[in-house]
Amino acid sequence: MEPAKTIEEPTARPPPSLELQPYVQLSDAALAKKILLVEDNAVNQRLILRTLSCFGLTSVDVAVNGKEGVDMVKAAPSAYSLILMDISMPIMGGVEATKLIREMGLDIPIMALTAHAMKEDRESFLTRGFDGYLSKPVRKPDLGVILPKWLDVNHESGVGTKKDWE
């Protein structure tokens, strides 16, 4: 007589480990700084504004195209500590707007926002006057790297230019 075969219950796999993103806390000086978001898409605007608010950043102006962004910078050249610039927009794109801001002699850090995520695209944006690059959709961990680098100032005077952080 053959022994009865038992059906083995499959063992449950352990849940996948969650890689927690490091918590980023910006200094009070960084939180007091103003950001200019230049983005034509309303959904992307809301997403980026919500993500910035997760870091405690609430002083953000929004421009809906590059021309409006340039006009806002011209009106208040020292108002912004960081510009998040979409690349593809109507009226004036981000590359042209960044060029005009650089021609003003302003040393404001400008991050390219784009769906173009190839390595060559990133390098192209860096050679065209951008200081950094974020691919869309913009994610909280990516902002968690950029915001402390460009907004937190560890100088005695509490001020500095982008060259101080490089």
Spatial distance between the Cα atoms of 19 and 95, rounded to a whole number of angstroms: 35
Instruction: Report pLDDT for 154.
Output: 47
pLDDT tens, residue by residue, 6-17:
555 556 666 555
Q: Is 62 domain-assigned? A: yes
Q: Is 16 domain-assigned? A: no
Instruction: Report pLDDT for 39.
Output: 97
**Contact present, 100 and 129 (Cβ < 8 Å):** no
Number of structural domains the chain divides into: 1
Q: Is 103 domain-assigned? A: yes
Q: Is the pLDDT of residue 158 over 60?
A: no
Q: Is 9 domain-assigned? A: no
- Axis crossing angle, helix 66-75 with helix 94-103, rounded to the nearest 10: 20
Spatial distance between the Cα atoms of 121 and 117, rounded to a whole number of angstroms: 7
Residue type at 87 in one-letter notation: I
Q: What percent of the chain has pLDDT over 70?
A: 76
- The alpha carbon dihedral of 91, 124, 103, 147 has a sign of positive
Q: Is 102 domain-assigned? A: yes
pLDDT tens, residue by residue, 54-89:
999 999 999 999 999 999 999 999 999 999 999 999
Q: What is the mean pLDDT of residues 24-35?
A: 89
The parent domain of residue 40 ranges over 28-155
Q: Is 151 domain-assigned? A: yes
Instruction: Report pLDDT for 116.
Output: 72
Domain CATH for 109: 3.40.50.2300
Q: Is 165 domain-assigned? A: no
Annotate 60-95 with DSSP letters as a single string: EEEESSHHHHHHHHHHSTTS-SEEEEESS-SSS-HH
Mean pLDDT (the chain) is 82
Q: Is 99 domain-assigned? A: yes
